[in-house]
Amino acid sequence: MKVTDLLNELIGIKGLVNQVGLNSSHDDWANMLAQHGFRPIGQGYHAQVYDNPKLDYVVKIFTRIDTGYLYWTRVCLGPLKGNPYVPVFRGKPVKLNDEASAARLEKLSAPTLNQQKLAYKIQLLLTTARREKRNWMDDPVVETMDDDLIRAIKYIQYGVEKYRFMLDVRPANIMDRNGQLVITDPLA
């Protein structure tokens, strides 16, 4: 999908990306998208998520240096597609310019306290196993997890080991889908 096709689908106009130049900030993107009904609903160091009440999905604009997120989108769209612990994407990420890309994702809710605790357990499980140089699968807490969650964690851990991404499973990077924990951005 071309950038103009994505933006046409989102807001029905062309050429918006030209209004936002290279080295643009979150504020530059927010100002441009606000003119068309989008509002920022979440922000990280390399990304910002926008909502438009007329659409049934959100748009995440992220920088090219966020290779951990690009890896995670590929995993979610590939081997983990259909896994309840990962977000549902609308198509593949689209390059907006040399520095930014956009992804469309299902709308989700803030995580519950129990989901936040589970995210903390996952982060602690993986960091402790790494620090102690042992297999995280040998930890007794894994026995309390279902196969889908274990599979998602395996891909997170693979990203940490293979690509040296930083583990970032925390409340800001998880969401809720009708009581289901969704891991949205576990790598930095």
Q: How far does Cα 165 stand from its chain's mean position?
A: 14
Cα–Cα distance measured from residue 86 to residue 170, given in angstroms and rounded to the nearest whole number:
14
Residue that has been written with the tokens 């891991």 in this structure: 183
The band of 119, judged by pLDDT with boundaries at 50, 70 and 90, is very high
- Scanning the structure block, which residue is given the tokens 């969704």? 182
Burial grade of 55 (CB within 10 A; 0-12, 13-18, 19 or more) = middle
pLDDT tens digits, 5-63: 555 555 443 355 555 555 666 677 778 888 878 999 998 888 999 999 999 999 999 99
Written as six digits, the tokens of 4 are: 């103009």
Take residue 156 and report the two structure tokens written for it.
């997170």
What is the structure's pLDDT at 24?
Answer: 64
Q: What is the pLDDT of residues 123-147, one digit of tens each?
A: 999 999 999 999 999 999 999 999 9
pTM: 0.87
Phi first, then psi: give them for residue 152, nearest 5 degrees. -65, -45
Residue with structure tokens 């589970």?
118
